[in-house]
Amino acid sequence: MRPTTRTSTSRFVTHSTRRRARWHTTSTASATWRGNRDAAVAAIANRGRAMKCIVAATDFTPASDIAVRQAAALARRAGARLVVVHAANIEGAKPDLFERITGRADAFRQDVRAELAARKKQLENVRDGVGGAEAGIECRMVDGFPDEAIARAAVDFDAGLVVVGTRRGEGPILLGSVSERVLRASPRPVLVARAPVAEAGFARILAAVDFEPASERAVEMALAVAADGATVDLLHARGDADDPDPRGEQWVERFGGRGATVRYHSHRGHPSQQILDHIDRERYDLVALGSHGHRGWRRWWLGSLAEATVRYAPCSALVAPPESASV
């Protein structure tokens, strides 16, 4: 039996087809963009609404250079404002008791000023490396611990997206790394960049969905960063349920026609395992999903699904909190 398939303009599959399809662990629905001018204009308008401003964080490492370049490419394509930020705990850089007792407080302050001047120059070099002030790219030093300062900057600049790098090596990124802490602290969508993105945007995207507001926002953001003609696969892991959730087909209808081919896959099994298995089978350059959006002390638990995906996915990852999330 072949899996159920439909396009964004076709009628829903019949009940009998549904019953036959229940014996399969996969249901696929597709919506193909026809390339008309109205759809292209709508896709560009959608990107503009989603990303009027992008904040890219740098700590001057090669990993953060990838993040800044990825952010610059997305900003150029969306016509968005780009602000490159570097966090320095300026307020915490004060002479301690030893410096005050030994009379080294003034020397300490001079060292701090010199360090901040050097970092500002490095930040300007990073900005110039992706177009410079002449291209309208801004750079800002922000005060505080990196995760908190970056999250606060995203709100201050009304960013639609925050882009950070990760120092992932052979294994998963470390629990408590700056990128993971930014994911937990930020009320705005965060893109963890693992590889340079083509100027045209992401071509193959996997969006894990559970039909909650956060995953809806994740799909919106996935389409905002998608290249024209990209493939966006909506993946729903339905646990032990026999039948695919009909909302998947409704989402294909809803999100199709925005410049990308949108397909729906429904698999039995645990979400995190299904996401990683799907990534292993296909070559994606981005995986997108929603987070719980908890605030207060609960925000430090991002959620096992999002954490597992961000840690182990070999590609870039975009995590979107619910719209209502705030600092």
Question: Model confidence over 168-195: pLDDT tens digits?
Answer: 544 454 444 888 889 888 999 999 998 8
Which of the two residues, 317 and 36, has the higher pLDDT score?
317
At residue 242, φ and ψ (nearest 5 deg) are -75, -45
The confidence band for 319, taking pLDDT boundaries of 50, 70 and 90, is very high
**Would residue 1 count as lying in a domain?**
no
**Residue 296 has what pLDDT?**
41
The confidence band for 262, taking pLDDT boundaries of 50, 70 and 90, is very high
Looking up residue 104, the CATH number of its domain turns out to be 3.40.50.12370
The confidence band for 122, taking pLDDT boundaries of 50, 70 and 90, is very high
CA distances from 257 to 27, 39, 189 (A): 20, 6, 23
State which amino acid sits at residue 111. Answer: D
The confidence band for 95, taking pLDDT boundaries of 50, 70 and 90, is low
The parent domain of residue 206 ranges over: 15-320
**Would residue 6 count as lying in a domain?**
no
Residue 188 contacts by C-beta under 8 Å, 6 or more apart in sequence? Answer: 151, 154, 155, 159, 160, 161, 162, 321
**Would residue 8 count as lying in a domain?**
no
Sheet holding 81-88, edge to edge: 27-31, 260-267, 226-237, 202-208, 286-290, 316-320, 190-193, 161-165, 53-57, 81-88, 138-143
**Would residue 104 count as lying in a domain?**
yes
Is 80 exceeded by the pLDDT of residue 7? no
**Would residue 7 count as lying in a domain?**
no
**Would residue 215 count as lying in a domain?**
yes
**Would residue 4 count as lying in a domain?**
no
**Residue 286 has what pLDDT?**
96
Other C-beta atoms within 10 Å of 281: how many?
Answer: 8
Contact yes or no for 112/118 (Cβ under 8 A): no
pTM, two decimal places: 0.79
Percent above pLDDT 70 for the chain: 73
Side-chain half-sphere exposure of 252, counting CA atoms within 13 A: 31
**Would residue 237 count as lying in a domain?**
yes
Is 70 exceeded by the pLDDT of residue 12? no
Count: domains in the chain: 1
Read off the pLDDT of each residue in 299-312 and give the average, rounded to a whole number.
67
Compute the distance between CA of residue 237 and CA of residue 266 in angstroms, rounded to an integer: 6
State which amino acid sits at residue 204. Answer: R
Is 70 exceeded by the pLDDT of residue 213? yes
